[in-house]
Amino acid sequence: MKFIAQKTKDGGNNGKVAFYCRVLHVSRQGYYQYLKNRDKLWKYQGLADLMTGIIQEDECNDSYGRIRMYQALKLKETENVSIPSERTVYRIMQTLGLIHNTKRKPNGITKADKEA
């Protein structure tokens, strides 16, 4: 959320919220929802901590994809963290930047015929 205001010495904002929201093309309702939700934890924070723990266990674990990460989470079986679907595990890994791109070249069967 983008919000600009001049801070006073006591820590309050100097200015009208409606004016700043209009200038920045943000609704007042959206601003107040942002204020309400900015201190809340992410609902997958426990799962994200568990994923980073799995990756830090061994140096070879940084190449885990979504399927192997999902299987590793199932093997951990922690009580306080529920494990969602494989697709959700993939989305969380994307958010955390844990997805790696393969660097190998695909080997095609079809070869170009130079005489044709």
Give me the pLDDT at residue 93, please. 93
For the entire predicted model, the pTM comes to 0.60
Query: Is the model's pLDDT at 113 over the cut of 70?
Result: yes
Contacts of 7 by beta carbon, 8 Å cutoff, 6+ apart: 13, 14
Q: Supply the pLDDT for residue 11.
A: 61
Question: What average pLDDT does the segment 96-113 reach?
Answer: 76
Q: What is the pLDDT of residues 68-96, one digit of tens each?
A: 999 999 988 777 788 889 999 999 999 99
- Give the pLDDT of residue 14: 65
3-class SS at 13?
A: strand
pLDDT tens sequence across 6-45: 555 666 666 788 888 888 888 989 888 988 888 888 889 9
Tokens of 114: 């130079």
Q: How many residues does the chain have?
A: 116
